[in-house]
Structure 1
Amino acid sequence: MKKRVLIVEDDKFFRFAIKKFVDWESHGFEIAGEAVHGAAALEFVESQPVEVVVTDMSMPVMNGIELTAMLREKHPDILIIALSAYDDFEFVKESLKLGASDYILKQDIEKEDIGEIISSSWNKHMAGLAKEGWLQEEILKFLKGGKLEERAGRFLDLSLDGSRGGCLFAVRNLDQEWKGSFGSKNCWLEESLLELHEKEWNILLVPAKAEHSIKKQIEYRYSLCARIESLLKGEDYLAGCSSLCTETAQLPESYAQARKAAVTGSFLQRTKVLSWDDIKDGYEGRTLDYMEKEESYKDICSLETALKALGGLTEKMRDLMPDEEHQQRNCLLLLNAAARNLNYPISNLEFARMKEHMAEMVRLDDLVRLTGEYLEQIFNKSRNGLLHSSVAAGIQFMRQNYGRDICLHEIAEHAALNESYFSNLFNKETGQSITEYLNKIRIEKAKELIARTNLKNYEIAERVGIMNASYFSTIFKKETGLTVQEYRQRLPKNLE
């Protein structure tokens, strides 16, 4: 869609010169009309759409300063370019204060690339509009299925431009300390025109390049995927990219595509920006309501067999990709079956807490890890009897605070016991010291970070609450039987 330009100039010669010496079409503009003074220009923009007004400063009836003020008040989305001679440059300064974006000297019309100047001003103008809160709210509503407001629709039509289009990226970072904004991490993607935030998600609208062939457009999208991967290196995230979108009406579907592509990363065990074009066939073949049969778990009688069953369930869910509800239901079914086989009664409160905690898991791997922890708890409790409530409280505190330096005093205080008594009780109930138990939690968390991020060893150590990298390496080797490097090498390679 070409941007429509209104020329406002009382001098017939300069109106002709502006039309003749500026290559409007090559820059994506077209002349919508002419006006000889500001009042006529206002009548024109009231009757038909105009994106750019190039206006002289000294005119009869209504001058350029007055016109600029009126346009900024009534039509704030219009780009205003001041047109001036040297002798009225004070008018230009006033016009810029009132809202004009740039200026052109009449003496330079034949010398300068005026089209390039206006095109550059247009891009800055659109970038400024893209940051306005009302526009972001309207577009977000539209992406989620709402009606598109007219001004927001015009912005999107001009941004996409049917001759080139664009694509949407949806990024969800799973680090709780990450606040959901590229800007807060200094990761703004220069190519993006618009950045939106929807709860934990970032949405980026990136226009394609008009000069690109279809092949180049595809290559460009993949290069943007690589850019985002680089910007989020070391983070734990899900991200997806839509197919090329050429019409505003297609954007809600593009948003759905980007979200679906990102969710697929939950099943593929990799931190990568996935393109909808690459995964759509597999995604559309998902078995959303897949449920394992309960009788499959009748032979579970040990933690080993339970974890093996969990592994088999995980592989099936990776293949069939059920929705989040059925992922959680499958894991709860396994937990119930294991508890029943052990004659261990899961209380309604305990089951509700499990369900609530599972609902917080975004990635399949996290859900599976949590299920494994619950299985371990069930087998420990069935073997040793129910854990003392103070010990359970201490374990919960450690799982919630393992990422910082915590001491026995804090844990015991949370459990409402003195340190000595709590330490002896904990050892009796679990068969481990508090330090041993905390180290196991930290190393399990470290293994997850190693598998999902590119963080260095000392960064992982700090994330799990161990400030000494050497001590971390020692504990890791003790708990896993492998060095960190050996553990990395044994991880399955990302699918390409």
Structure 2
Amino acid sequence: MYKVIIVDDEKLLRQGFIHMTDWSVNGFEIVGDASNGIEALELVERYQPDIVVTDIRMPGMDGIELTRILKQRYKDIQVIVLSSYNDFEYVKETLQLGALDYILKPKMQYTDLVNAMEKAKANKHHKELAKDTQSELRKKSMQSFFKSLLCETSQTDEAILEQIIAFSLPLQPGPMRLISIQLELLETNSASDAPQEGEFTNTIVNELQAMLLQQQNGCCFAVNPLQLIVIMNTSEDEYRDLIAPAFAACDVQHWLCVSELFSEFSDIPSVYQRLLALSPYRFYINSGSVMKEAELAELKTSMDLPFKNFNEYIDKQDFPGIYEKVQQFITDSIQTKNYIDPYAIRNGFIEVCYYIIHRLDEMGLEIDELHKRKITFFKSIENTRNVTDCLQVLKHILNEIETFLKDSRNGNYSPTVKSIIYFIHQHYREDISLQSIALQFHLNKSYLSQLFKLQTGETLNNYLINLRIDEAKALLRQSSSNIYTVCQAIGYSNPSYFGQVFKKVVGMKPSEYSKLYNK
């Protein structure tokens, strides 16, 4: 609705105007009426109308003076003048002062009023569009300047300063810092609850810009919805006190990357490029933290993990040991400030997982399921946002591999181990050993021992001993069996040695065990 005030010293005319029609149908609302210019100004202050319809001749303050004051104080208010035949010179004066139109009171018709009001509405609408367009053009022009400030290396300090002055930015030549603020919006359970990136960024930019204007020491703008730039005239750590309040009540993660001091506007592009190179290293720090160029001087582009040193841990199925080694490697790098490129860390963790799976493959294990899962493992590492998450994901993956292998030991043996177990069951009565079985299957004795334990959870020798003793117990429970025949039946040639082994496993001598069942 367009708000309208009627000003005329004739009350009857004002009432007739108000009740002439249902003005709301045409998009108007009569918010007040006054008998002279003084009363009208009070109503204008109170209601902030869009249109004022005023008579010219009135006591106290006439329509000419009212029009003059309105156009000085409230340039956007549209003024329509009511006049008599002999008021034409006064009408001309009001038009020169900025009145939009006039209507002759003696001939005033309903349609004249509506047409004049519609003209005022249209004129105000066009002015608002023009103002919005002009504001938008200035905004785009300023944004273009900011982007050129970061990227164009050929601009002189004089040319940059001219534009700073033209845009009335409170930025002076001399010591300054460039601060890059990287944002990450927190994930929400509902899409409707999630703030729009651009909308949120604009709010932060406006708040920071207002603070900088108040302090007259810098400017702020958005490079994209998730990156802000602040340029400040400061040689101290004032930026902390400025920026922290803007994020105090916000559900957003943010990191500050702060340049060293520089003095020339033309240095801004090179300073910005250095900060861009540092930005990924927020991987190492918590939200709200500050990264300074001087503190991140030692940057490594690769992660050199000693993969071969993991073999003994893989062979023993000691995955917590592998995790501790990797965690210590990362901790040492951070403590010595030898920061590794986050991409290299993620890639290094992926290589750890790949190496473990490859090693298990070489050992002859049936790990088809791990091969299916490895792409999921790799993607989960790639999607981590910081070093803590990356380590937690690696730990989870190693736990998954360990659990899988434990489940495999419950019967899902590799073909090689299955064949060895079958061979042992067929030949345990003979003089067989780890060495003879390794020769039978053309395997290295050490490798065979590691492979068998990895899949079954016990050494091959123990497996053979337990199998023989179980058979001996079954024979000893029979009344016709004696120690010597049992010893020979299960592959032991020395009854004394058999007795020692039996007692160690069962907890009693063979004769004592036999008496339990043959009284």
Q: Under a length normalisation based on structure 2, what TM-score does the superposition of the two structures give?
A: 0.41
Q: Under a length normalisation based on structure 1, what TM-score does the superposition of the two structures give?
A: 0.43
Which has the higher Rg, Structure 1 or Structure 2?
2
